[in-house]
């Protein structure tokens, strides 16, 4: 099951373990280097969506989740609309490539390409991008827990070489921490989450900003 973001038509899975993959990594509206939003999903009138259903670059066709029997009228259609000032003109130095666009935040030209395994520093920068995107999509999460979990996991040999697993685990932790009740005893809510992130003295965690 899932819920729909109030800011656009993005599906937010109910399971914290699935949120990173669905909302960030497989979201075509998010830059895969810095994880900032570039586009939003908007509903398309059914007649237009059905007419262009085979052109996936223009429209997404969503089928009902419940059951295998559905009618044409049960289908929903969405298009990706560029957010203001999120893409800028780019002029590749190679004459073989035409002018194109790049992510306004990180400068990535191929915004759909996931980079190679990130360094610890770059992973923390990407985690900040995840937090900003979650804020824009109204995904409840604890941003401190998110960045601290990424910092800790990037030092764990079992996670350091797998960014997808690192971010998935860190996002799930941040969402679960945000869902915990208040801690009037002051013992710290991170102690109740799994895995338990502990910030390194070599890293600094600052509130992500748009």
Q: pLDDT of 5-29, one tens digit each? A: 555 667 889 999 999 999 999 988 8
Confidence of residue 184 (pLDDT cuts 50, 70, 90): very low
User: What is the mean pLDDT of the segment spanning 131-158?
Assistant: 95
pLDDT score recorded for residue 130: 97
Enumerate helices (H) and strands (E) in the chain, giving the number of each.
5, 7
Three-class DSSP category at 61: strand
Q: pLDDT of 86-102, one tens digit each? A: 777 766 666 555 557 78
pLDDT score recorded for residue 105: 86
Distance linking the first and last C-alpha atoms of the chain:
29
If you average pLDDT over each of 32-46, 71-85, 103-117, 127-141, which comes out highest?
Answer: 127-141
Three-class DSSP category at 84: coil
pLDDT score recorded for residue 195: 43
* DSSP code string of 110-142: STTPPPSSPPHHHHHHHHHHHHHHHHHTT----
9, exposed or middle or buried, with CB in 10 Å at 0-12, 13-18, 19+?
middle
User: What is the mean pLDDT of the segment spanning 173-195?
Assistant: 63
Q: pLDDT of 66-89, one tens digit each? A: 555 555 555 667 667 777 787 777
User: What is the mean pLDDT of the segment spanning 149-163?
Assistant: 96
pLDDT score recorded for residue 198: 43
pLDDT score recorded for residue 200: 45
pTM of the full predicted structure? 0.71
């Amino acid at each position: 099951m899932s819920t729909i973001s109030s800011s656009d038509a993005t599906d937010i899975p109910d399971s914290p373990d699935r949120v990173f993959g669905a909302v960030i990594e497989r979201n075509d509206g998010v830059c895969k280097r810095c994880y900032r939003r570039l586009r939003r999903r908007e509903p398309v009138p059914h007649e237009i969506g059905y007419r262009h259903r085979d052109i996936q670059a223009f429209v997404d066709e969503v089928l009902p989740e419940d059951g295998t029997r559905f009618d044409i009228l049960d289908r929903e259609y969405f298009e990706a609309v560029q957010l203001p000032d999120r893409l800028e003109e780019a002029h590749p130095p190679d004459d073989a490539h035409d002018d194109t666009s790049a992510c306004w935040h990180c400068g990535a030209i191929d915004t759909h390409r996931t980079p190679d395994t990130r360094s610890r520093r770059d992973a923390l920068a990407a985690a900040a991008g995840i937090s900003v995107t979650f804020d824009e999509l109204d995904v409840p999460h604890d941003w401190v827990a998110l960045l601290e979990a990424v910092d800790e996991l990037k030092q764990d040999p079992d996670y350091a070489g797998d960014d997808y697993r690192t971010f998935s685990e860190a996002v799930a932790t941040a969402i679960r921490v945000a869902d915990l009740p208040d801690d009037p005893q002051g013992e710290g809510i991170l102690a109740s989450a799994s895995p338990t992130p502990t910030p390194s003295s070599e890293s600094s965690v600052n509130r992500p900003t748009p």
